[in-house]
Amino acid sequence: MNLEYFKSSEPLLLESGAVLTDFSIAYSTYGQLNAERSNVIWVVHALTGDSQVATWWNGIVGENGLFNFSNHFIICANLIGSSYGSTNPLSTNPNTGTSYFYDFPSLTTRDLAHSLELLRKHLKLEQIHTLIGGSLGGQVALEWAFLLGSKLANAIVIAATAKTSPWVIGFNEAQRMAISADTSWGQGHPDAGKKGLEAARAIAMLSYRNPLDLNAKQQESTEKLDGFLASSYLNYQGAKLAKRFQAFSYWTLTKSMDSHDMGRSRGGLESALNGIYARVFAIGVNSDLLFLTEESKFISKMVPSGQYGEIISTTGHDAFLIEFQQLSRLIQKFYKS
């Protein structure tokens, strides 16, 4: 694995009208380009992911994974706004010489796609065999698939949507409310909102799981009045995330997810999806309560060359990070079709 950094020589004009200057993108690569440069697999990570895809998606990317290092050149870039090496709210604002903090500009999924396009051009990758991402990563991948046109052969969009629903925006807003309720939020400090982030992650976990799955795995074996397993589980997940992520990036990227609308300024969703050149494989999760299977099916029906596949799991939204064997079989079947 090679971890590298791309510092853009040109500013990024954002949909909001703001301009992000002097920005950098951290990215990881695995394997080697073949002679034809036709074996590029580009992964877009989800909300709190990083560029080291072989670590968090090792059932899909790895020596023995579907996308292995012998046959593929795999790349994953840390999205700008995230806290794993790319420019983010804790980075230095060139206009002030101090961290952006609350002045970091708003980013849309389209902005994130444009930043990845600048990285692609820098790397001189004229063709991408497969662009793949789940959740927020799937939304960014869908936006980028539109921009790439004939430079992309296959787009695999997992547990994602063409436009973020009010249901998802509501969950994201509840999480940001938890962050802003933290008394440290508003301070110019890297740990501002940390306790609020723990609460936000607890809210998120309830949307990432399915009630049946949580009921089965956190069921009590004894009678209790307090100290329930479900409570311990959510507290653990909140503390775990707060140790590796920061509230500023969480705020920024959930806002990016809220902004997602393929049809904006393109004549609506159907018109935008119809403009995607690549073959699109939209994969839903039957137990996903966050991004519904109907939304994945809509993508597959509206693109010129689309297929739909479904992961069957009690896990819920996070099944795309867990059900590796199913996901591999679905993708292999798509490639053979």
- Catalytic residue IDs: 135, 288, 317
Beta bridge partners of 309: 283
CB 159, CB 137: distance < 8 Å: no
Q: For residue 188, give the nearest of 244, 255, 239, 248 by alpha carbon.
A: 248
Q: What is the dihedral of CA 242, 243, 246, 249, to 10 degrees?
A: -90
Beta bridge partners of 281: 156, 307
Tokens, residue 204: 């998120």
Q: Which secondary-structure segment (H or E) carries 74?
A: strand 73-77
- By CB atoms closer than 10 A (0-12, 13-18, 19+), residue 263 is middle
CB 316, CB 292: distance < 8 Å: no
